[in-house]
Amino acid sequence: QVQVVESGGGLVQAGGSLRLSCTASGLRFADYHMGWFRQAPGKEREGVSCINWSGGSTYYADSVKGRFTISRDNAKNTLYLQMTSLKPEDTAMYYCAAHPNPYYSRCQPESTYNYWGQGTQVTISS
């Protein structure tokens, strides 16, 4: 049984930092492309940052480039998202997802991801 669990969300002031973690169990983590998605109230879910199986190739949405860093530790079955210089518009529920093609780096259409976590809330105050 596959489980994907995000953690690390919270309430921080604008300009602050947070580190999200996503731990997956029940699958061979290194066989999956991983992605971080977010959904703000009243908006569609969007791909924020994604990473290939090795961590050697990454993708960032324009809105987070230079501020967010995605990484993974395959030995720990864990995906990370280091977020700095946070803005109120980063406020959203953040989700972790696993895709069965490990070679992709760009975020893929949501419907193609096999497994999703329940999300962790990030709230940035101005």
CA distance 24 to 2: 7
> Which pLDDT tens digit goes with each residue over 34-56?
999 999 999 999 999 999 999 99
Give the mean pLDDT of 71-75.
Answer: 98
Q: How much helix, strand and coil, in percent to the nearest 5, is found in the chain?
A: 10, 50, 40
pLDDT of residue 105: 95
pLDDT of residue 95: 98
Question: Measuring CA to CA, which residue among 2, 63, 59, 3 is closest to residue 33?
Answer: 59
Residue 93 — very low, low, confident or very high, per pLDDT cuts 50/70/90? very high
Question: Measuring CA to CA, which residue among 6, 4, 19, 1 is closest to residue 98?
Answer: 4
pLDDT of residue 77: 98
CA distance 53 to 71: 10
pLDDT of residue 113: 98
